[in-house]
Chain A
Amino acid sequence: NAGVTQTPKFRILKIGQSMTLQCAQDMNHNYMYWYRQDPGMGLKLIYYSVGAGITDKGEVPNGYNVSRSTTEDFPLRLELAAPSQTSVYFCASKLRGSGSGVRAFFGQGTRLTVV
């Protein structure tokens, strides 16, 4: 199993450009999450999904869009990139349930710089 795979690992965008951060998991997890990590600010939840076709806003959704057409993929879309979106983005997934099912698995991250 590859786990949670994020692409690309690094990207530089110009202000106003758009891009999609890809996230795929091969663990048949129904829950998937997108976070951003700014220096000293911890991980902030952007969007999450409890299953294919269902998405919901997190703590900081403005400027982003998501879709979940399959169980495996959860892409994050930036439509008009702004310098404030410079951050490290992490995708995570988990299986619903109690006990060990609560644990979320994270990808390696995508470092995005908007200039």
Chain B
Amino acid sequence: DQQVKQNSPSLSVQEGRISILNCDYTNSMFDYFLWYKKYPAEGPTFLISISSIKDKNEDGRFTVFLNKSAKHLSLHIVPSQPGDSAVYFCAASARRDDKIIFGKGTRLHILP
């Protein structure tokens, strides 16, 4: 039973345009959501997070939107740059046990 779902295995976006990565979750106990970026042969690195009490969090080119009623979040990258080509993981955690549960990831390709 997948609690965090990323239904798009890959996404291609033109350089300079907006990249939108989507994530759905099923567990209503999650109260923090995170996005991680991963390059080949490296560990995941933290990108941005959002608390369940907010609906938007912004950090430079990266913005995460949370729709609690739909159990959906999205990561927007504007403008997309070549260095953004990587695998992006959506993750969620609940304060009651502090497990961090990850989705399967979306591979983002930024096209020149």
Contact = CB atoms under 8 A, between A and B. Distances in A.
Interface of A: 4, 31, 33, 35, 40-45, 48, 50, 56, 58-59, 90, 92, 94, 96, 98-99, 102-109
A83 B84 CA distance: 34
Contacts of B98: 31, 48, 50, 96
Interface stretch (B13-21, B39-47, B61-69, B70-78): B39-47
Interface in B13-53: 32, 34, 36, 41-46, 49, 51
A43 B99 contact: no
B46 A104 contact: yes
Contacts of B85: none
A42 B89 contact: yes
**For chain B, which range describes its interface: under 10, 10 to 19, 20 to 34, or 35 or more residues?**
20 to 34
Contacts, number: 58
A105 B46 contact: yes
Contacts of A50: 98
A31 B97 CA distance: 11
List the 3 closest A-B pairs by CB distance, nearest first.
Answer: A106-B43, A42-B104, A43-B102
Contact of B44 (A31, A43, A58, A96): A43
28 contacts: A33-B100, A42-B6, A42-B89, A42-B104, A43-B91, A44-B102, A45-B99, A45-B100, A50-B98, A56-B97, A58-B99, A59-B101, A90-B43, A90-B44, A92-B100, A94-B100, A96-B98, A98-B51, A102-B49, A102-B93, A103-B46, A106-B36, A106-B43, A106-B44, A106-B45, A108-B41, A108-B42, A109-B43
A92 B45 CA distance: 10
Interface of B: 6, 9, 32, 34, 36, 41-46, 49, 51, 89, 91, 93, 97-105
A42 B34 contact: no
A45 B104 contact: no
A102 B44 CA distance: 15
A102 B34 contact: yes
A58 B102 CA distance: 12
